[in-house]
Amino acid sequence: MLPGVAYFLLFHYGALVGNVIAFKEYVPFDGLWGSPWVGFGNFRRMAEDGAFWDAVLNTLWIAVLQLVFYFPVPLGLALLLHTLTWSTVRRFVQSVAYLPHFISWVIVVALFQQVLGDTGLLNSGLSGAGLHTVDIIGDPDAFKPLVVAQVIWKDAGWGTIIFLAALAQVDEQQYEAAAIDGAGPWRRFWHVTLPAIRPVVVLLLIMRLGDILSVGFEQMLLQRDAVGPQAAEVIDTFVYHQGIVGGDYGFAAAAGLFKGLVGALLVYAANKVAHRLGEQGVYR
């Protein structure tokens, strides 16, 4: 037990305490504790920084797009897989669909470049057919749909696991009883399937909401240079570029702390709402 506890104390709580840097002006020579206090100065700077709010806006946009376009995909795929009675095919499709989850973002981004980049699969097909080529990877306007597509490709299959599990727990007899009562496939879906997976859907929605300010740090960082910060800067990459690259540690930590606090608050609020609606939520 001790090594584990020591790890959490040092690398989580130790680092958590390190957040005091958000209230300081970091001077490398003086170190974390010797640097002078500046009160809420870093936060004031943050509030007045246009680039920071651009990053917040980008973050929220991407999060909303993911919620609308990504979230239903694993659910739909799970429902589809659930209706398959041929178990060999079902297992095969599942195995293939889970796989991209285990591939690193570096490789996923490289894959997308190979397929959609200006010399990639799609464009050599287009130019071969005598059509105009499209530069999807380097186009700032295409960036947001692109990253959502990448998330779907990478994680939609993996996301089905939890829905499939919820579906598997539905008692077969309920379907049978409904069928005998004359309910067709759609009515059975509406009255048996949906109520069964509702708690899981709510749970995942809450967890997404808490995570709404963290949209794929690695994914954005890898592709930010191709389309520029205007389109691709999110809060996490903002923190990275201000702090690690720019050396403005206090300012960057303030932005990070802001994100952490808002995230924790969102989970708390979403959980409250879930309880109001009579759902279990993440915790009691």
Residues 170-229 contacting another protein, CB under 8 A: 172, 175-176, 179-180, 184-185, 210, 217-218, 221-222, 225
Q: How many CB atoms lie within 10 A of CB 234?
A: 30
Closest separation in Å from C-beta 273 to another protein: 17
**Shortest Å, Cβ 133 to another protein:** 11
Which amino acid is located at 69 in the chain? F
Q: How far is the CB of 278 from another protein (least distance, A)?
A: 20
Q: Closer to another protein at the Cβ: 194 or 265?
A: 265
- Residue 72 to residue 201: CA distance in whole angstroms: 10
Binding-residue pattern over the window 31 to 60 for another protein, x denoting contact by CB under 8 A:
xx----------------------------
Cα separation, 222 vs 177, in Å, equals 52
Q: Does residue 252 contact residue 244 with C-beta atoms inside 8 Å?
A: yes
Q: Which 240-269 positions form the footprint of another protein (CB under 8 A)?
A: 240, 243-244, 249, 252-253, 256-257, 259-260, 263-264, 267
Closest CA to 112 of 83, 72, 139: 139
3-state secondary structure of 130: coil
Options 48, 102, 186, 278; binder of another protein; rule CB under 8 A: 102
Our finding on whether 14 is near another protein (CB under 8 A) is yes
Phi, psi of 83 (to 5 degrees): -80, -10
Q: Is the Cβ of residue 10 or residue 131 nearer to another protein in the bound state?
A: 10
Residues 6 or more apart whose CB falls under 8 angstroms from that of 162 comprise: 200, 204
| Minimum distance, C-beta of residue 148 to another protein, in the bound complex (Å) | 15
Give the shortest CB-16-to-another protein separation in angstroms. Answer: 4
Q: Which of residues 81-100 bind another protein (CB under 8 A)?
A: 83-89, 92-93, 95-100
Q: Work out the angle at residue 208's Cα, subtended by the Cα atoms of residues 95 and 284, and round it to the nearest 5 degrees.
A: 110
155 binds another protein (CB under 8 A): no
Q: Is there a contact between 237 and 224 (Cβ–Cβ < 8 Å)?
A: yes
Q: How far is the CB of 100 from another protein (least distance, A)?
A: 6
Separation of alpha carbons 111 and 97, rounded Å: 16
Retrieve residue 190's tokens: 């509406």
Q: Can you state the angle between helices 143-168 and 87-98, rounded to 10 degrees?
A: 140
Q: Which residue, 222 or 232, is less far from another protein as judged by CB?
A: 222
Residues 22 and 268: their CA atoms lie apart, in Å, by 23
Count the residues of the shown chain that bind another protein, applying the rule CB under 8 A: 90
Mask for 107-146, x = binds another protein (CB under 8 A): x-xxx-xxx---xxx--x--x-------------------
Among 197, 213, 236, 274, binds another protein (CB under 8 A): 236
Torsion of CA 146, 254, 204, 234, to 10 degrees: -10
Q: Which is nearer to another protein, 14 or 140 (CB)?
A: 14
